[in-house]
Amino acid sequence: MKMPNNFLFGAASASYQVEGAWNEDGKGVSNWDVFSKIPGKTFENTNGDVAVDHYHRYKEDIGLMAEMGLESYRFSISWPRIFPNGTGEVNEKGLEFYNNVIDECLKHNIVPFVTLYHWDLPQALEEKGGWRSQETVDAFVRFADTCFQAFGDRVRHWITFNETVIFCSLGYLSGAHPPGIEGDVKAYFQATHNVFVAHARAVEIFKKAGYDGEIGITHVFSPSFSIDNDPDNKFAEMHANEYATHWFYDPILKGTYPEYVVNGLEAKGFLPEWTEEELDLLKRTAPMNDFIGLNYYCPQRVMKNDSALVMAGGRENSTGRPGNPSFDGVYKTVMMDDKVYTKWGWEIAPDAFLEGMRMLKDRYGDIKIYITENGLGDEDPIVDGEIMDTPRIEYIESHLRAVKHAVQEGINVAGYYAWSVIDLLSWLNGYKKQYGFIYVDHKNGLARKKKKSFYWYQEIIATRAEDL
């Protein structure tokens, strides 16, 4: 079987991870500009000041994407480029840059798939409370509306937020991302609720204005599986899926919060402060979501937590290995002897990917799915000057096969975006952890070079994955 003609083969990036030009053309300072410069926060204190200089090289990069045959490019808009202080006056130069990127994509018949928020929050808003604050919600809605108005004549695919669970949990529980707060469970749940409200308000504006196109949100997709059939571990599995998946997917797709979590939070005093109006908004806008974006890297293997510890890290903890207890100490994620892991301890499990998609279909029905990220973080071997990223090819091949299987089973998957189109800054792991089809030579003026996987993906796209 060939993948259907309207299935999009794409690849992704995010503004802070590729653009650089952190203080050029009127761009404001983002929370990541500040956070990454605090000594010890990132691997070798790397930051996105220059990143891979996509800001100045977008034409070359999009040209390479076109050569690869890429059908769609998912990228994000740096909010502080458009509103240097988060709100207030628009920076025209910022709009101009994204107009250029969009036009360059269209020139090459590449569908631009835009993420509005991929974590680089204007620092001015971070200082006013970030996602704990209503001010950020209001400012986001204005930012989203501005982008719809500026780019909505050419952009038909919109993602409001990337991975709420990650930027909120790493921001307020583990402290590994800005604002670097540890163990504030109340703030964590409040921030997630505020993000869902901001999403819902943006969706409603988009729909009311009648733009031609689709809008949705992108979530981490990391379904939990018990390590065995022990009832305590099965309970841990249920609990983990409720807190780490349903809490995020239900308000978007069902318009309500999962009762199990609401009851649990209420008992512990962690329930977000919300209004009836906000809950109505979630309910009213849920059916307006055109799709759900899934970022899938690995599942979670869980068991009951038998230690007194509560969560100290997370998936992105660059120093520790998994084995982290959940924030409430009920379960812990563990590595298993019979599983295969990447060098960074992320399990490679295409079967769990397919199984997870079935679970989603069971719970949420036929909602359209885009796989908005999937890929392998690795240190690619260079042999005689060629980048021989065979493990990446194997990883993507096995996961694309799972996607193909899903489509054959009638799961509504409409596109696949490899992470990442080009080697870029890994938030906490610098440039050492590579993901791209295109190599960036940091010792040679950031020169671009096609990897083995570049040619492989080119072939996959050209044949619409027929041989997979």
The residues binding ligand BGP (CB under 6 A) are 14, 17, 162-163, 166, 295, 316, 373, 377, 419, 426-429, 433
Written as one letter, the residue type at 439 is Y
Residue 347 or 373 having the CB closest to ligand BGP: 373
Residue 126 or 373 having the CB closest to ligand BGP: 373
Residue 253 or 428 having the CB closest to ligand BGP: 428
Q: Is 265 helix (H, G, I), strand (E, B) or coil?
A: helix
- Report the half-sphere exposure of 145 (CA within 13 A, side-chain side): 14
Q: Cβ-count burial of 408 within 10 angstroms (0-12 exposed, 13-18 middle, 19+ buried)? A: exposed
What's the token pair of residue 87?
């709100």
Residues sharing a CB contact under 8 Å with residue 269, sequence separation 6 or more, in sequence order: 186
| Catalytic residue of the set 19, 71, 104, 163 | 163
Residue 225 or 419 having the CB closest to ligand BGP: 419
Q: Indicate if 394 belongs to the active site.
A: no
What is the chain's percent helix, strand, coil content, to nearest 5? 40, 20, 40
Which residue's CB comes closest to ligand BGP?
Answer: 426
Rounded to a whole number of angstroms, the minimum distance from the CB of residue 161 to ligand BGP is: 10
Q: Are 7 and 414 in contact (CB under 8 A)?
A: yes
Rounded to a whole number of angstroms, the minimum distance from the CB of residue 102 to ligand BGP is: 20
Q: Distance between CA atoms of 378 and 353, rounded to whole angstroms?
A: 20
- Alpha helices, DSSP H only, in 302-424? 350-364, 390-408
Rounded to a whole number of angstroms, the minimum distance from the CB of residue 222 to ligand BGP is: 10
Q: Are strands 368-373 and 291-295 parallel, antiparallel or unpaired?
A: parallel
Residue 291 or 427 having the CB closest to ligand BGP: 427
Rounded to a whole number of angstroms, the minimum distance from the CB of residue 435 to ligand BGP is: 7
Q: Indicate if 163 belongs to the active site.
A: yes
Rounded to a whole number of angstroms, the minimum distance from the CB of residue 342 to ligand BGP is: 9
Q: Are strands 447-450 and 438-441 parallel, antiparallel or unpaired?
A: antiparallel
Q: Distance between CA atoms of 264 and 273, rounded to whole angstroms?
A: 15
Q: Looking at the annotation, which residues are catalytic?
A: 163, 373
